[in-house]
Amino acid sequence: MYLEFAELQALNRKPMYMRKWIEKLDDFLKLSGRDILTHVGKISHGKVLEKAHAKYEQYRKERMNEPSLVERQFIEAVRHMKQIEKKRKLGRRNGN
C-alpha cells in the first residue's frame, strides 16, 4: 500500500523529499500497528551475519538432499513406465 501511495504521489507530480518520505513511512507503519525502530537495535552486525550464514548453510544442505529437476523428471518417467507395464500385464490377463 505504501508503494501505491508513492506511485500516486509520482503520478500527481507531487515532489516529496526524503525527510517527508520518512515521516510518511513512519505514519503508515503506525497506522498499520507496527512498531517503529527508534534505536540501533540489540544485535550486532556481526551476529546478524553469523546467523544469516548459518541459516543459509542449513537451507543449502536441505536443498542438496532434494532431488534435482532432472532427477524428479526421471522418477516421474519411471513411475509412468511402471503404470504402462501394469496396464499391459492386466491387458494380457484379460485376453486383450
Number of structural domains the chain divides into: 1
72 pLDDT exceeds 90? yes
Helix (H, G, I), strand (E, B) or coil at 36: coil
Per-residue confidence at 96, pLDDT binned at 50, 70, 90? low
Per-residue confidence at 9, pLDDT binned at 50, 70, 90? confident
Residue 26 has a pLDDT of 86
Provide the phi-psi class of 41: left if phi over 0, else alpha when psi is between -120 and 50, else beta: left
Residue 88 lies in a domain: no
43 pLDDT exceeds 80? yes
Q: How many CA atoms lie within 13 A of 93 on its CB side?
A: 6
Is there a contact between 2 and 29 (Cβ–Cβ < 8 Å)? no
Residue 74 lies in a domain: no
Residue 27 lies in a domain: yes
Give the integer Cα–Cα distance in Å for 43 and 52: 12
Q: Which range has the worst mean pLDDT, 32-36, 41-45, 81-85?
A: 32-36
Is there a contact between 5 and 24 (Cβ–Cβ < 8 Å)? yes
